[in-house]
Structure 1
Amino acid sequence: MTMSTDAGNRRLPPRRTGRQPGWYIPWIFVAGFAVVIAVNAVMVHYAVSSWTGVQTEQHFIKGIKYNQDLAGARAQAERGWKVETEFTGTEPQKGVVALTLHDKYGNLLKDAKVKVTFIRPTSEGHDVALDLPYLGEGRFGAPVALPMPGLWDLRVAIEHATGDYQDEKRITVK
C-alpha cells in the first residue's frame, strides 16, 4: 500500500525577513496624539504665563456688595446729573480730558472731586489716574500723556456733597 501525500506538490509561502505591511500604522496614531499633546502644552504655557485676565481686585467682596452697588446706581439715576466726558487728542499718545457737570436742573456742579482713570483693557501696569482740577463754569479738565496708543477705558469717579457719580467710556488714543 502506498500513501500519497500532497506535500511534495505544495509550495510553502516565502519566509519574510523584514517587517509586515502596515507595521507603521499604530505609530501614526502615537505621533498624532504626541502632536496634540505638544500643542496643548504650548497653549497651556502661554495661557498661564501671559496676562492673568484679572480685571477686578477683591472680586468676591465686591460681589457680596452687589446689592449696594445696585442701590447706588438707582440713586445716581435719580439725581439725573448730566456729565459730558470728552477726550481730545492733541499729539500722538497725548490729549486733554475734560468733563462738564450739571445737575438735573442744569445748575453747575462746582465743589466736586473728579478723578479719571485711563485703564488699558488688554494689559496691566499701564493705567494712568488723574485728579481733575476745576476750570470754571462746571468744567473740570487736565492734559494727559498715555504710554501707548490704542483702546483705553476711561473711568470717571465724581464725589459731591449731593452724591457720587461713576461712569466708564471706551476711547481710542492715536
Structure 2
Amino acid sequence: MQTMLLTLVGGAIAIVLVFLLLRLRGGDPKVGALAAAFPVVAAYTVWAATDWPGMDVYAMHLAVYFVTAYALAIIGLQQRKGRFRFHWGPALIVAFFGVVISVNAVFLTLANGGLGPEATAWLLPEPDSGAEVQSHFPGTVARDYQEKEELYNRYLERVEEQRERGWQVTQGFLDPPVAGQREAFQVKVTTRKGEPLDGATVSGKFLRPANKDLDVSFELQQVGPGLYRSDLRLPAPGRWDLAMTIERAGATHEVHARTRINDDS
C-alpha cells in the first residue's frame, strides 16, 4: 500500500510540476495539462506492466492523473481570464471524482492490509472457538473453474464422466480432529460394484476460507484394500473446505467436502 500511495501522490505531483514548467512558456492550459498527464500515465503503465497490480488499482491511478490534469487546466484557464475561482460545474466534477477515488483507496487498503487489531475487535463479532479474525482479503482459493467458460465446460464433462464411473468415496478423520494436533485422515475408495480400488493416487488440500496462507496440502498412502491414510495437522480451529482428487489409470475423481476442526482448549 505504501507503493500505491507513492505512485498516486508522486504521479500527481509530477503532473503539477510538468504543467507549471509548460505554463512558463505560455500556451493553452488545456494542452499543457494533457501534455503533463500523458508522460506520467505512460510511465506508470510501463511500470505496472512489469508487476501488474490489478485493474482496479490501475484504473484508480488513471483517474487521479487525469482528474489532476483536468483541475490544472481549469485553474490555468481561470488565471488566463484574470479570475482565480472554480465554476461550480467543474468544481463539482473534481469533488465527485475525489470522493470516488478516496472511497476506493479506503476499500483497497482494507482489502490488502485489513483493519487494526482494536478496530477489528470493535467492529467484527467474536469468532467461534477463539479463532483469529481476519479483516483483510488474503486472496482467492482453489476451484476457480467458473472464471472461464471453456474451463467450466471441461469441469462439467469431468463431472459426467465421474458419475458414469461410479467410484464410491468416504473420507474422514479417525478421531475428532483438534487444531494443532496430528490426526489420522483416511479415505476409502471402492468401485461401482463395491470392490476396493487399489493403486490410486490420493492427494488434495484442506482450504482455510479465511486465510489461504493456512491451506494444508496432503498425499495419502495406501494402507489396505481401498484404504488410504496419512496423519495431518490443521493449524486453526473452525471450518475447513476439502478439495481432493483420486487418480488411477488416467481416470480422475474429484471430491469436495467440508469439515470443522475443534479448538485445543
Q: TM above 0.5, one fold?
A: yes
Cα 1:157–1:59 shift into 2, 3 Å: closer
Distance 1:162 1:45 in 2: 45
Q: Tell whether the 8 Å contact from 2:179 to 2:235 is kept in structure 1 after alignment.
A: no
Partner residue, 1:163: 251
Number of matched pairs: 137
Q: Percent identity?
A: 28
Distance 2:250 2:138 in 1: 38
After superposing the two structures, state which structure 1 stretch, 132-141 or 60-69, moved more.
60-69
Structure (1 or 2) with the greater helix fraction: 2
- Alignment of 1:96 with 2:160, yes or no, is no
Q: CA RMSD in A?
A: 2.6
The residue type equivalent to 2:195 in the other structure is: N
2:207 aligned to 119, 136, 140, which one?
119
Query: SS of the residue aligned with 1:64?
Result: helix
Measured after TM superposition, the shift of residue 148 of structure 1 is 1.2
Query: SS of the residue aligned with 2:176?
Result: strand
Question: Structure 1-normalised TM-score?
Answer: 0.68
Structure (1 or 2) with the greater strand fraction: 1
- Alignment of 1:80 with 2:144, yes or no, is no
CA offset digits 1:23-61 (Å, max 9, x no partner): xxxxxxxxxxxxxx7x95755531343214423488687
Where relative contact order (Cα < 8 A, 6+ residues apart) is larger, the structure is 1
Distance 1:98 1:144 in 2: 10
Distance 1:166 1:90 in 2: 23
Question: Structure 2-normalised TM-score?
Answer: 0.46
1:45 aligned to 105, 109, 113, which one?
109
The residue type equivalent to 1:73 in the other structure is: V
Q: Tell whether the 8 Å contact from 1:89 to 1:96 is kept in structure 2 after alignment.
A: no
Partner residue, 1:139: 227
CA offset digits 1:69-102 (Å, max 9, x no partner): 1111100000111100112335443322110000
The answer for unaligned runs of 5 or more in structure 2 is: 1-98, 114-135
Query: SS of the residue aligned with 2:212?
Result: coil
Measured after TM superposition, the shift of residue 62 of structure 1 is 5.0
The residue type equivalent to 1:69 in the other structure is: Y
The answer for unaligned runs of 5 or more in structure 1 is: 1-36
Distance 2:109 2:147 in 1: 30
Cα 1:169–1:105 shift into 2, 3 Å: same
